[in-house]
Structure 1
Amino acid sequence: MTLFSNGFATLEMPEDFEAVATKEEFNDMYLVNTKIPMSIKFSTTPTLVGLPEICDGIEKNVETNDKINLITSDFIVINDVIYYMFVSSFSDGEKEIRRNEFLYVEDDNLYIFEYTYPYADRELDDFYLNVIRSLKIIAPKYIVENGGYRLNKEE
């Protein structure tokens, strides 16, 4: 496995995945594997709320969006840390897409792992968890203060 690092966090990138450049503000890493096909997105965003509030917001959004089918959501422990897991599916008109999301909050930073693939019946396995387990936070990417946020320059 290749190591990803942005100065704030490191994690292992699985074999056969290629990095894709993206201009999304909070996206740290976006990987694709066209053989499976699957994508992995790792993002960091500033936040002033915890996982329970984030969970409530996501579930309210799903209730009002008839294009998203909630499969499961729950709090789980990975590496002695509590994550919020949200598994959903949606249709792109031709095939059903499954998305597994894992969210974690530390030091006013929300870390999000998102796995997207076209297999509605595929179960979560150690592949996803191994990437998450490899996460090492070096320093918070964002400093939240005075009603706003800034990039942490003390990396």
Structure 2
Amino acid sequence: MTMFTNGYSSLQIPEDFEPIATKEEFNDLYLVNTKIPMSIKFSTTPTLGGLPEIMDGIEQNLKSNDKINVVNSDFITINDQIYYMIVSSFSDGENQIRRNEFLYVEDNNLYIFEFTYPYADRELDDFYLNIIRSLKISVPKYVVEDGSYRLNEQ
């Protein structure tokens, strides 16, 4: 088992997944497995909102996009922590794509897991949860104060 760490958080990288470089500001880790095919994205962003406000914003955005279908949206408990989970699907023109997102807020940091793959497979539930359960937060990545944020230099 390979572990990812960035000094702020760590998590388990599943077998057969390769990291891909990305220049997205808040993206901590982007993995792909071409055998399945599947991608996993782990991001951390500063936030002043809680999960209910974040959920409302996401659902409003998705409702205004007629190409995305919300399959499921709910709060769930993982490792005694409350996560917001949203499962959606959309078409890329050739394939039906499914995206499962799990969001968690701690210390004004929003942690986002995004799993994207071209089919719906209930067998993957334990796969997602094992990765999410492996998340260990050492210190918050961002410090949010006075309406702005900065990288935590601890």
TM-score w.r.t. the length of structure 2 is 0.98
Q: SS at 1:131's partner residue?
A: helix
Q: Structure 2 CA distance, aligned partners of 1:24 and 1:114?
A: 14
Structure 2 gaps of 5+ residues are: none
* Structure 1 residue 67 displacement after superposition: 0.9
Give the corresponding residue for 2:71.
Answer: 71
* Structure 1 residue 147 displacement after superposition: 1.1
* Structure 1 residue 51 displacement after superposition: 0.1
Q: SS at 1:24's partner residue?
A: coil
* Structure 1 residue 13 displacement after superposition: 0.3
Equivalent residue letter for 2:104: Y
* Structure 1 residue 146 displacement after superposition: 1.3
Q: Which residues in structure 2 correspond to 1:43-122 (within 5 Å)?
A: 43-119=43-119, 121-122=120-121
Q: SS at 1:53's partner residue?
A: helix
| Alignment deviations for residues 33-74 of structure 1 (CA, whole Å, 9 cap, x no partner) | 000000000000000000000000111111110011000000
Give the corresponding residue for 1:20.
Answer: 20
Q: SS at 1:125's partner residue?
A: helix
Q: Structure 2 CA distance, aligned partners of 1:32 and 1:63?
A: 28
Structure 1 gaps of 5+ residues are: none
Q: SS at 1:94's partner residue?
A: coil
Give the corresponding residue for 1:134.
Answer: 134
Q: Structure 1 CA distance, aligned partners of 2:62 and 2:41?
A: 20
Q: Structure 2 CA distance, aligned partners of 1:61 and 1:24?
A: 20
Q: Structure 2 CA distance, aligned partners of 1:128 and 1:147?
A: 33
Q: Return 92-101 or 121-130, whichever deviates more.
A: 121-130
Q: Structure 2 CA distance, aligned partners of 1:96 and 1:134?
A: 29
Equivalent residue letter for 2:152: N
Residues paired across the two proteins, number: 153
| Alignment deviations for residues 54-99 of structure 1 (CA, whole Å, 9 cap, x no partner) | 0001111111100110000000000000000000001111111000
Structure 1 stretches of at least 4 aligned residues deviating more than 6 Å after TM superposition: none
Q: CA RMSD in A?
A: 0.6
Equivalent residue letter for 1:122: D
In percent, how many aligned pairs have the same letter?
76
